[in-house]
């Protein structure tokens, strides 16, 4: 049986730390990039939004939120255009 090379304790500890370390927390809960947006730990305490999403199946809530954002953004753009005139 071949002899096993001992693993340096420092390397094992570093690997353990890297695996268990929490990911870095962004400065802002919403990050907007060129082709996508990421929402981190965002709490929304608006009763109308909660009521709307609670009426949707849990597995469909994320896409429902995306659709609601699309509708809201479309409306905001239209309102801004009306006020420009």
Give the gyration radius of the chain's Cα atoms.
23
Reported as a pLDDT band with limits 50, 70 and 90, residue 36 is very high
Question: Shortest CA distance to 50 belongs to which of 31, 30, 65, 39?
Answer: 65
End-to-end CA distance of the chain, in Å? 84
Query: Does residue 1 form part of some domain?
Result: no
| Residue 15 lies inside a defined structural domain of this protein | no
* Assigned domain for 13 exists: no
Average pLDDT over residues 62-79: 96
Kindly tell me the sign of the dihedral angle through the C-alpha atoms of 51, 57, 61, 65: negative
Q: Is residue 3 part of a domain?
A: no
pLDDT higher than threshold 80 for residue 57: yes
What total of structural domains would you count in the chain?
A: 1
In a domain, 14, yes or no: no
Q: Print the domain residue range for 51.
A: 26-84
Residue 19 included in any domain: no
Residue 59 lies in a domain: yes
- pLDDT given for residue 28 in this prediction: 86
Scan for tokens 């699309």, then name that residue: 70
Q: Is the pLDDT of residue 4 over 80?
A: no
This prediction has a pTM of 0.63
């Amino acid at each position: 049986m071949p002899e096993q090379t001992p693993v340096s304790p420092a390397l094992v500890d570093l690997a353990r730390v890297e695996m268990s370390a929490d990911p870095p927390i962004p400065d802002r809960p919403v990050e907007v990039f060129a082709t996508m947006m990421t929402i981190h730990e965002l709490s929304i305490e608006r009763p109308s939004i909660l009521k709307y999403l609670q009426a949707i199946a849990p597995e469909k809530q994320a896409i429902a939120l995306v659709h609601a954002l699309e509708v809201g953004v479309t409306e905001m753009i239209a309102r801004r255009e009306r006020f420009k005139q």
